[in-house]
């Protein structure tokens, strides 16, 4: 991400943070634009380029009222349909399957010893990421602006693995999820290090449809642990694969978005971005990005 892109990202992130914290007062375009020191015209254009939707519509998509409406409307029906069929989503994701393969007990216990991991850096609509893969699938994906920090965080997950900086076909296929050319998407395979409980929670997250939301309690019910909302939250917070495992689609039962390990502003951006994509699809409009 070059200097101008980083500046734009920071401005939009600040705007999203302001919208997220002040949605109750329904801030108008002039107010948010002034907050990030841009003219209303420039801010509107920049925001729509980055988020794919106007600031006003984004405010609607990320407000508590909208979140509650989504939760009421779905009544778990879309979630159940996706869950029961094994699909990771509906609409544009109807033919995209994401499957999880857990690492062997030896790999899990020994910190990835004898694993060969390829990794690379890439730009996404939500900032820079590091993405890593074994020969069996994506094993790690995280947002991080500084490459050295990103690599150190990844290495801590697999302290005994061997690393090689290179982009492979597994990574390329996974990164298509951020682009407009969905026809290139094949089945995405994940090769994850986690406990049986964590893997079960992450598999359940895959079945929350794009543009939809679920609560921690709903996820707990889906894994037949209705009293384990706190443990579910911990497992969600340990998600090693940003965006592909959509922990950003899980919110609190009162409709507030809640935290996100890669910055709550990114979570708000993802929810708004996906809502915009789904609504464009339903209206038969061109892709917003």
| Residue where the block lists tokens 């490459």 | 147
- Please enumerate in sequence order all residues whose Cβ is within 8 A of that of 259, keeping only pairs 6 or more positions apart, or say none: 237, 267
User: Of 115, 247, 257, 271, which residue is the catalytic one?
Assistant: 247
Is residue 13 within 8 A of residue 1, CB to CB? The reply is no
Q: Enter the tokens of residue 214.
A: 């679920």
Sign of the Cα pseudo-torsion (172, 203, 103, 145, in order)? positive
- Which one, of 165, 158, 159, 126, lies nearest residue 144 by Cα? 126
DSSP labels for 91-148?
GGGTT--EEEEEPPHHHHHTTTTT-EEEEEEEEETTEEEEEEEETTEEEEEEE-SSHH
What's the CA gap between 57 and 54, in Å, rounded? 5
What does the alpha-carbon distance between residue 93 and residue 176 come to, in Å, rounded to a whole number? 12
- Please name which of 156, 153, 191, 146 lies closest in space to residue 170, comparing C-alpha atoms: 191
139 tagged catalytic: no
Please give the Cα distance from 54 to 41 (Å, whole number). Answer: 11
Q: Which residues are catalytic?
A: 247
């Amino acid at each position: 991400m070059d200097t101008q892109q980083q500046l734009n990202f920071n401005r939009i992130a600040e705007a999203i943070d302001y919208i997220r914290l002040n949605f109750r007062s329904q801030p108008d375009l002039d107010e948010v634009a002034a907050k990030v020191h841009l003219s209303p015209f420039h801010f509107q254009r920049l925001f729509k380029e980055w988020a794919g939707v106007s600031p006003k519509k984004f405010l609607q998509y990320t407000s508590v009222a909208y979140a509650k409406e989504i939760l009421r409307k779905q009544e778990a029906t879309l979630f159940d349909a996706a869950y029961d069929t094994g699909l990771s989503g509906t609409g544009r994701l109807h033919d995209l399957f994401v499957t999880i393969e857990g690492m062997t007990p030896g790999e899990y216990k020994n910190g990835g010893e004898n694993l060969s991991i390829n990794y690379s850096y890439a730009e996404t609509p939500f900032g820079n990421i590091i993405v890593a893969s074994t020969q069996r699938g994506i094993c790690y994906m995280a947002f991080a602006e500084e490459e050295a920090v990103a690599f150190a965080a990844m290495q801590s997950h697999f302290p005994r693995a061997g690393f090689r900086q290179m982009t492979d076909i597994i990574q390329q296929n996974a990164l298509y999820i951020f682009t407009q050319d969905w026809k290139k998407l094949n089945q995405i395979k994940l090769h994850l290090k986690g406990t049986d409980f964590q893997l079960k929670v992450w598999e359940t997250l895959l079945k929350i449809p794009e543009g939809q939301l679920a609560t921690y309690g709903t996820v707990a019910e889906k894994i037949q642990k209705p009293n384990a909302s706190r443990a579910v939250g911990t497992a969600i917070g340990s998600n090693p694969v940003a965006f592909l495992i959509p922990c950003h689609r899980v919110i609190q039962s009162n409709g507030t978005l809640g935290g996100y390990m890669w910055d709550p502003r990114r979570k708000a951006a993802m929810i708004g971005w996906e809502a915009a994509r789904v609504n464009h699809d339903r209206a038969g409009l061109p892709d917003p990005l």
